[in-house]
Amino acid sequence: MTEIFLLARFFFFDWIAWTLAFLALGIILFIAAKKVCSTRMELFLLALFGFSAIFWLLSSGIPSTLAYPWNLTTYGPAAGPSLPVANALTFFKNFDGFERVDDIARDPRDLPGPIERDYEDDVYITIEAREVVSDMAEDVTFNYWTFGGQVPGPFLRVREGDNVHLTLKNLETNIHQHSIDLHAVTGPGGGSAVIGANPGEENTLDFKALNPGLYVYHCATPNVANHMAHGMYGLILVEPKEKLTVVDHEFYVMQGEFYSVGELGRKGLQVFDGKKMLAGDPSYIVFNGRTGALTDQMQVNTGESVRMYVGNGGVNLISSFHIIGEIFDRVFPEAATNVVLENVQTTLVPAGGATMVEFTAEVPGTYILVDHALARLDRGAWGTLIVNGEENPDIYHGDKETSDHTH
Ligand SMILES: [Cu+2]
């Protein structure tokens, strides 16, 4: 309930408090004017004040919290990003019944290992669409829509040529229909045409993984951008028949944007802002679902090889992925498994796309993962990789103690 109280307080201060302040001022003026003016003059002054007050309140902007675009006019192939009023009301009515997730961030180490077999097989996967409540930052609460209760969704791993049987369960407690469009699928809607399920339902998609590579999957229920901006995306790796090289560490990182009516850092439950999303003006830009999600989970030793599977759920921004102080020995651009670039500083991760980067850790210390459009760091787009081991003065040396530059 604290979140709802904070939200109510937000509404109050954003608008109602101003109205009350003007009313109080009006009453004071009325009493003062009564003593010195004629009744006619007093009515005139009062009307003048009233009009000024209304003009001021309107011109300072209809309070953003009340300007929620219930009926936004848009020109996409389906409904725009306004949430139906009934859904918003159901949300508040059921607020205490929603699943609370302690940590919305998926651990970057949470991915299955390499596929050992060298033949095609049938693979059965079930994913639950779960609408939950969790924190974007301390006391900043979001209603996340997820695959599997965390952001990003589970890392799926199959082999080129596999027959995949994917079931989507939409929990009964959810409010919205959900679906999955996998960019690894050849067929209408990337599978969303047959897997979409209403709350309490489940549907299965069967597909053959024809093309190797690392692909984004995401919810494709209209308004698609809206569902993605609530956290509904993940990655599926279709390993090539020839296999990827074996590395010491694999990590799973996914960038995404969140759009709230409350500005950056505003505490309490946040209301989704469809207008900000259409304008491409996110409040939060984060790795793995929330600010500060990647801290000490990614630890490697000097001399060890690392591969990162990096995706971008968007929905608007292209990520300029970079690790401060580390050069990518190899990049598989746009996650194509048969193209390799060597010695890359920063690589693009398109909205709805992915990349794979590989490097060997050589010098111990803390390395910061960023979207090198660096203003985005302050909205949350950074994480850390920790390299442990002996100093390597042939490669990196200074007279001062090394320190990490997180500040
Ligand atoms: Cu959805």
CA–centroid distance, 35 to ligand 1, in Å, is: 63
CA–centroid distance, 221 to ligand 1, in Å, is: 5
User: DSSP states of 280-326 as a string?
Assistant: T--SEEEETTSTT--SSS-EEETT-EEEEEEEE--SSPPEEEEEETB
CA–centroid distance, 375 to ligand 1, in Å, is: 29
CB 115, CB 158: distance < 8 Å: yes
Q: Where are the domains of the chain?
A: 2-59, 100-250
Token readout for 247 is 């590395």
CA–centroid distance, 220 to ligand 1, in Å, is: 6
CATH code that applies to domain 100-250: 2.60.40.420
CA–centroid distance, 214 to ligand 1, in Å, is: 21
CA–centroid distance, 177 to ligand 1, in Å, is: 6
pLDDT 10s per residue in the chain (407 long)?
A: 677 777 777 666 666 777 777 788 888 888 888 788 788 888 888 888 888 877 776 665 555 544 455 667 788 888 888 776 777 778 887 788 889 999 999 999 999 999 999 999 999 999 999 999 999 999 999 999 999 999 999 999 999 999 999 999 999 999 999 999 999 999 999 999 999 999 999 999 999 999 999 999 999 999 999 999 999 999 999 999 999 999 999 999 999 999 998 999 999 999 899 999 999 999 999 999 999 999 999 999 999 999 999 999 999 999 999 999 999 999 999 999 999 999 999 999 999 999 999 999 999 999 999 999 999 999 999 999 999 999 999 999 998 876 655 54
CA–centroid distance, 96 to ligand 1, in Å, is: 21
CA–centroid distance, 322 to ligand 1, in Å, is: 30
Which residues have C-beta within 8 Å of that of residue 90, sequence separation ≥ 6? 175
Token readout for 218 is 């995401």
